[in-house]
C-alpha cells in the first residue's frame, strides 16, 4: 500500500488554526481512478483561503521540526462563523497539481494513463500521493515537466472561462482587476491571440509597465488621480460592459460600474433618469480585499454585481466545449498558459513561519510551487 505525507488544515472551536503533516494511506484505485505521485503543486490565492481563512499574517508561529512541524495562528472571532462547517476537521488542501501515475484502476481510461505525467484538479494536492478520477486528469504532452504542468487548471481555465462568459452573456470586451497577476498575464495573452479587447486595471506603475511590455493596449493604474478619466476613455473605446474583479472588497466594483455608465452615456440625446439601458456586469471572483463591497449607485438601473466561481461555471458547459478548452490548455501549456515560479518549497517548508510570510503575501510576480517529493 502506498503511503505518504499530506498537508492538512484544522480549525478548533475556539478559532485556533493549525497546519500539519499526516501520513496518508492510498487505497487501491477504483476502476476509473489512478494514484498520482505528486511532483509539483502551486500555491494559488484560492488555496490560501483554504489553508488559513482570514487570519493576521503576523500571528503565525511554527513549533516542532521537520515532518513534525506545526504551523499555528488564530482565526478572528468575526470570521469564525464562516468556517463553522470545517471546525474540528483535518481538511486536506491544495486544489491542483501534477505528477506521474504510478497505479491505475481496471478501466481502459485509467490503464491508458499508467506511467504518464498528468495534471489534475482533484483537491488535496499538497501531498506526496493522491487518488484521482480519470475525468479530472489532463495527460501532459511528452517532455512536459510536472512544474510546467501543475497549474493547468485554476488559472488557465479561469482565464478561458472569463472569455466564455463574455460570449455567452453577449458582451464584447472585458475588464480585469489585479491584472498583472499570473492569471492576468494569461488572460492578456489569450485576448491578444483571440482579438478580444481587454482593459487591465493594476495598482502600481511597474505592473502597468509589465503588461504594456507584453503588448497590452489598455492598462489603467487605479492608484492615480486620473484613474476614472482614463478608465472612462478605455471603456468608451472598447465598449467593455463586463468586469471580473479579484479584489472583492472596497469601492472598485462600484467605480467600474460608474465608469461604464459614463462611457455609455456620453451621447446626451440618449439621456434617461434611469441611465443607459445597456446591462453592466461586475463579477467578484476573488477576495484580495476582505472589507465589505461598497456600492455607490451612480450607474442607472441596468447593472448587476455577483459572485463568479470557476467550478460553478464549468458545470454549465457542454462536455464537448469543456473538452475543447482543456485541450487548448494542453496544446499551449508552455506558451499561452505558461506559469513562472519564483520559489520551490517542500511540504515541510510550507509550515515554516518565515516562508509562510512570503507566499501568503500574494505579491504580484511572486509565485510559489510545492515539491512534495523534496
234-237 contacts: CB < 8 A, separation 24 or more? 234/199, 235/175, 235/199, 235/259, 235/260, 235/263, 236/263, 236/266
Block residue for cell numbers 487570519: 55
Half-sphere exposure of 96 (CA within 13 A, CB side): 25
The segments of the chain whose pLDDT lies below 70 read: 1, 267-270
Which cell numbers in the block locate residue 351? 509550515
159/151 Cα distance (integer angstroms): 12
- pLDDT for position 1: 65
Angle formed at CA 226 by CA 221 and CA 232, multiple of 5 degrees: 85
Rounded to an integer, what distance in angstroms lies between the CA atom of residue 204 and that of residue 176? 15
pLDDT tens per residue across span 89-131: 999 999 999 999 999 999 999 999 999 999 999 999 999 999 9
Q: Give the chain's mean pLDDT.
A: 94
Q: For the segment 11-38, what is each residue's pLDDT rounded down to a tens digit?
A: 999 999 999 999 999 999 999 999 999 9
Residue for cell digits 445597456? Answer: 278
Distance CA 40, CA 84 (A): 31
Q: Which residues contact 346 (CB under 8 A, 6 or more apart)?
A: 370, 371, 372, 374
Amino acid at each position: 500500500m502506498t503511503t505518504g505525507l499530506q498537508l492538512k488544515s484544522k480549525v478548533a472551536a475556539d478559532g485556533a488554526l493549525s497546519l500539519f503533516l499526516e501520513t496518508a494511506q492510498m487505497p487501491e484505485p477504483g476502476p476509473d481512478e489512478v494514484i498520482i505521485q505528486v511532483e509539483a503543486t502551486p500555491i494559488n490565492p484560492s488555496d490560501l483561503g483554504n489553508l488559513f481563512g482570514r487570519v493576521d499574517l503576523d500571528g503565525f508561529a511554527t513549533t516542532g521540526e521537520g515532518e513534525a512541524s506545526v504551523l499555528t495562528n488564530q482565526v478572528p472571532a468575526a470570521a469564525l462563523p464562516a468556517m463553522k462547517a470545517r471546525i474540528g476537521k483535518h481538511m486536506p488542501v491544495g486544489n491542483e497539481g501534477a505528477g506521474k501515475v504510478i497505479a491505475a484502476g481496471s478501466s481502459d481510461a485509467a490503464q491508458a494513463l499508467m506511467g504518464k505525467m498528468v495534471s489534475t484538479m482533484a483537491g488535496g494536492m499538497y501531498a506526496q500521493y493522491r487518488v484521482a478520477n480519470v475525468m479530472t486528469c489532463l495527460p501532459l504532452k511528452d517532455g512536459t515537466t510536472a512544474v510546467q504542468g501543475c497549474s493547468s487548471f485554476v488559472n488557465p481555465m479561469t482565464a478561458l472561462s472569463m472569455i466564455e462568459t463574455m460570449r455567452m452573456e453577449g458582451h464584447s470586451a472585458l475588464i480585469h482587476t489585479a491584472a498583472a497577476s499570473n492569471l492576468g498575464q494569461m488572460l492578456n495573452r489569450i485576448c491578444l491571440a483571440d482579438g478580444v479587447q481587454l482593459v487591465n486595471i493594476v495598482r502600481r506603475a511597474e505592473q502597468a509597465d509589465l503588461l504594456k511590455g507584453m503588448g497590452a493596449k489598455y492598462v489603467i493604474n487605479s492608484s492615480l488621480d486620473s484613474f476614472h478619466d482614463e478608465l472612462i476613455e478605455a471603456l468608451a473605446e472598447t465598449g467593455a460592459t463586463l468586469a471580473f474583479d479579484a479584489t472583492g472588497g472596497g469601492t472598485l466594483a462600484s467605480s467600474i460600474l460608474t465608469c461604464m455608465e459614463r462611457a455609455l452615456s456620453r451621447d446626451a440625446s440618449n439621456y434617461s433618469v434611469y441611465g443607459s439601458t445597456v446591462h453592466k456586469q461586475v463579477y467578484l471572483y476573488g477576495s484580495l480585499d476582505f472589507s465589505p463591497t461598497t456600492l455607490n449607485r451612480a450607474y442607472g438601473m441596468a447593472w448587476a454585481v455577483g459572485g463568479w466561481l470557476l467550478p460553478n461555471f464549468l458545470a454549465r458547459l457542454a462536455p464537448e466545449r469543456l473538452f475543447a478548452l482543456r485541450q487548448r490548455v494542453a496544446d499551449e501549456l508552455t506558451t499561452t498558459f505558461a506559469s513562472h515560479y519564483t520559489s520551490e518549497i517542500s511540504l515541510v517548508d510550507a509550515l515554516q513561519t518565515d516562508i509562510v510570510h512570503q507566499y501568503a503575501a500574494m505579491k504580484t510576480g511572486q509565485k510559489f510551487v510545492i515539491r512534495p517529493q523534496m
